[in-house]
Amino acid sequence: MSIETKEQALPVMQVGGEVPTPPEPAAASHARGWILPGLTLVAGRAIGALWTRYFQAEPPAGTSAPTTARERGVALPGPLAERAGIRTAPATAESVVPTIDVLGHVEFDSARVADVGGRLEGRVVAVHVELGDRVEPGDPIVSIEGPDLGEAVAELLEARAELAAASAHAQRQTALRREQLTTATEHEAATAEHAALEARVRGAEQRLGALGIAPGSIDAATRGRALPRTVTRRAPIAGEVVERHVHLGAVVDPTEPLVRIADLSAVWILLSLFERDLGRVRVEDRVEVLREVSPGLVFHGVVEHVGAVVDAETRTADVRVAVENVERRLRPGQFVHAVLHVGGEARHDAILLPETAVSQIQGAPSVFVRIAPDRYDARPLELGPAHGARIEVRRGLAVGDEVVLE
């Protein structure tokens, strides 16, 4: 039987048994009228749409369910299947290394980042680095002058002077005590005063140290030879200046970070894993990282930490991967694609299908299988993890089944 169109006659697809002879019921004729044009416009996924909209309908009352390959599924003559672009291939088993494909992004290694702040309120009188400069520990970064520095120096000078007087007084009291020319109370008071002033001097020295004044500068200040007017903040680590938030003449706050230095020879990759995969990942699992801008370049790393908290909205947790980056090809903020090798799972044989071959039919993942030269049947599947653009089939297919790929 055929349906005539203005251009040409198209063969009708058959659903179970022989094609009925005309006249055909109006409802069936109408249904087939919209099935055929759609099938000639799209590829194999059109079968899934047709199955759910027409071929999965309940059998007419009084008829029995199909029992043979000829009666099951969708009948599609060869020429029409060719026009629809349907392509099949036999299912084969492959040796699978358990992996998880996941997206992530590059972050600084927090142990290799240092923020250089002002430590005191004041005005910037010199900036010694530019964005992108390479620095070593101790290199000058920024110089600041402010009232806090003068107050700290004055406090130290005063404490040192009082300590010198207290030290001399304590020594005299000790000598007099040996000659029993002073009381024990007076001797103890002199000793306590000396100890208190020693503590005050140490506190003043530590305050200057916290402001960035070197010990040599402190000693020079106490001798009155040179009172520092500025404090120079220096690089605490070797690395690259990746952020600079200061300029000459700027007024800075003690809590503001002025310059960020980062050692980019090693970085972190933060992967967002769905909660269903978290239990499969272990610390020290191997990871291959590919940049989206150059997928042929592979970086190797290991899992350092598996997140303990799942985000309530995305249902994912971060997995931290440490990667060597000596050539600086990975940059913080970049998006990457990673293949995580699951060390706790053994290699096994499995059927892998392209994800594009799997359709949702009545809420279940399914594929279409060619069960006869011109007939296709839907097959529900139990799926396993994805492996790149393919997905593992745990149940529902056998090796050799002709699967519709597109």
With bands split at pLDDT 50, 70 and 90, how would you rate the model's confidence at 222? low
CA gap 332, 268 in Å, rounded: 8
With bands split at pLDDT 50, 70 and 90, how would you rate the model's confidence at 14? very low
| Count of Cβ atoms closer than 10 Å to residue 357 Cβ | 20
3-state class (DSSP) for residue 285: coil
CA gap 16, 369 in Å, rounded: 16
Residues 330-367 have pLDDT tens digits of 999 999 999 898 877 767 788 888 888 888 888 889 98
Residues 77-103 have pLDDT tens digits of 878 778 777 888 898 888 777 888 899
* Overall average pLDDT of the 315-339 stretch: 93
Closest CA to 359 of 375, 372, 378: 378
* Overall average pLDDT of the 55-64 stretch: 49
With bands split at pLDDT 50, 70 and 90, how would you rate the model's confidence at 247? very high
**CA quadruple 216, 218, 221, 222: dihedral positive or negative?**
negative
**Bridge-partner residues for 228, per DSSP?**
none
Higher-confidence residue: 204 or 319?
319
Mean pLDDT of the residues in the chain:
80
With bands split at pLDDT 50, 70 and 90, how would you rate the model's confidence at 228? confident
Rounded percentage of the chain residues whose pLDDT exceeds 70: 78
Higher-confidence residue: 338 or 389?
338
Task: Please tell me the predicted confidence (pLDDT) of residue 135.
Answer: 97
E strand or H helix at 174, and its extent? helix 147-178
- At residue 134, does pLDDT exceed 60? yes
- At residue 17, does pLDDT exceed 90? no
Q: Give the list of residues 6+ apart from residue 202 with CB closer than 8 angstroms, or none.
A: none
Task: Please tell me the predicted confidence (pLDDT) of residue 77.
Answer: 81
Residues 164-197 have pLDDT tens digits of 999 999 999 999 988 888 899 999 999 999 999 9
Q: Give the list of residues 6+ apart from residue 372 with CB closer than 8 angstroms, or none.
A: 69, 70
Alpha-carbon dihedral angle through residues 183, 188, 190, 195, given to the nearest 10 degrees: 170
CA gap 315, 69 in Å, rounded: 43
Q: Which of 37-41, 92-96, 211-215, 320-324 has the lowest mean pLDDT?
A: 37-41
Residues 107-117 have pLDDT tens digits of 999 999 999 99
Q: Do 142 and 246 touch, CB atoms closer than 8 A? A: yes
Closest CA to 285 of 297, 296, 274, 269: 269
With bands split at pLDDT 50, 70 and 90, how would you rate the model's confidence at 248? very high
- At residue 162, does pLDDT exceed 80? yes
CA gap 261, 370 in Å, rounded: 62
